[in-house]
Amino acid sequence: MSGLIRDEELCRQVQEGSEAALEALVHRYHRPIFAYLYRLTMHQQTAEDLTQETFTRLLAQIHTYRFPRPFRPWIYTIAHNLYRDHVKAAARRAFPAADPDRVRPSPVVDLSEQIAEQAALSQALRALDEGERAVLLLRFYHGLSSPEVAEVVGIPPGTVRSRLSRAVRKLRDLLEPTAAQDGRSEMR
């Protein structure tokens, strides 16, 4: 991994006009940003649109990046703010939020057990409130530290910890009945 250029250095190079550095950042972060937004919106097209807008906004705001500020929380902040704006705009237009029933399963996943587990997890994630879901996804799915999560969502680190604790408890409560039921059906 010694030949890998750090994100912060790539961002500095983008500020200097390097298209190759921008391409490298997009390559590194497109999939994780899409995954985060998809898990928030539960709608593929919306997540794709917001992901594209994240990189457009990154380029438009590149002059505001201050080297050597950590890049990862900065780009997740951009994505999270775009998600918030999307939700606010949808509410103003009185359109419903993303339709969770239209989530398309991955074509690679063909085992019914994995599909059932994924469906149960998706349903449980939808049961969390927006704040709990965001901190949980950023911390555990995307590996941001608690202080980085606090920076992204704009709340104190203590609030991140309490939301994480509450979200994990809720997920456990929501998923345990499913696990217990699956265990009973295997015993038959």
Q: Which fold has domain 1-98?
A: Rna Polymerase Sigma Factor; Chain: A (1.10.1740)
18-71 per-position pLDDT tens digit: 999 999 999 999 999 999 999 998 899 999 999 999 999 999 999 999 988 999
Q: At what angle do helices 19-41 and 7-15 cross, to 10 degrees?
A: 120
pLDDT of residue 45: 94
Which residues does the chain have with pLDDT short of 70?
1-3, 91, 93-118, 177-188
pLDDT of residue 152: 93
- Model pTM? 0.68
* Among 9, 152, 150, CA closest to 68: 9
Please tell me what DSSP assigns to residue 107: T
Please tell me what DSSP assigns to residue 69: S
Torsion sign, CA atoms 181, 183, 186, 188: negative
Query: Do residues 98 and 42 make contact, with C-beta atoms less than 8 angstroms apart?
Result: yes
For residue 174 the two structure tokens come to 């929501």
Helix ranges (DSSP H) in the chain: 7-15, 19-41, 44-60, 71-92, 112-127, 130-136, 146-153, 157-187
For residue 77 the two structure tokens come to 């902040």
Cis peptide before 100 (omega within 30 of 0): no
Q: From 3.90.600.10, 1.10.10.10, 1.10.3330.10, 1.10.150.20, which CATH number describes the 110-188 domain?
A: 1.10.10.10
CA dihedral 65, 66, 71, 77 (to 10 degrees): -50
What are the boundaries of each domain within the chain?
A: 1-98, 110-188
Query: Do residues 141 and 133 make contact, with C-beta atoms less than 8 angstroms apart?
Result: no
- Alpha carbon distance 159, 164 (integer Å): 8
* The amino acid at 120: A
pLDDT of residue 25: 97
pLDDT of residue 184: 46
Please tell me what DSSP assigns to residue 64: G
